[in-house]
Amino acid sequence: DTGVSQDPRHKITKRGQNVTFRCDPISEHNRLYWYRQTLGQGPEFLTYFQNEAQLEKSRLLSDRFSAERPKGSFSTLEIQRTEQGDSAMYLCASSLSISSNPIEQFFGPGTRLTVL
């Protein structure tokens, strides 16, 4: 089964360093989402792509964050100049959107970031 995969699963970095996470969605899913989850909270939406187009960004996505999905397949999320407050689980999800039908999102296992 080729579900949503994320790499790496864990990342420890020092404050001020840049980090990049990768998400591989379910094949042929045209939508890809990024969420952030801190301890004890539900996931918070960051951004989503329809194919290669980034259609929405949350105000949580500061200018230190950038996401790409260059060929409409995998996506990367980069955090520049990491801060301790960036420590969280970063979740990726994908879905197949067809017309106006309701769609469920399928989540990956997440990348846990720890900023020291």
Partner 1 sequence: DAKTTQPPSMDCAEGRAANLPCNHSTISGNEYVYWYRQIHSQGPQYIIHGLKNNETNEMASLIITEDRKSSTLILPHATLRDTAVYYCIVSDHGQNFVFGPGTRLSVLP
- Residues of the shown chain interacting with partner 1 in the complex, contacts defined by CB under 8 A: 4, 33, 35, 40-45, 48, 56, 91, 93, 95, 97, 100-110
- The answer to whether the CB of 32 falls within 8 A of the CB of 40 is no
Q: Which is nearer to partner 1, 77 or 110 (CB)?
A: 110
Count of CB atoms situated within 10 Å of the CB of 110? 21
Q: Which is nearer to partner 1, 9 or 64 (CB)?
A: 9
C-alpha–C-alpha distance, residues 94 and 70, integer Å: 15
Closest distance between partner 1 and the C-beta of residue 81, in Å?
A: 27
Backbone phi and psi for residue 74, each to the nearest 5 degrees, phi listed first: -75, 165
Q: Which is nearer to partner 1, 50 or 76 (CB)?
A: 50
Place of tokens 């999800």: 93
Closest distance between partner 1 and the C-beta of residue 113, in Å?
A: 14
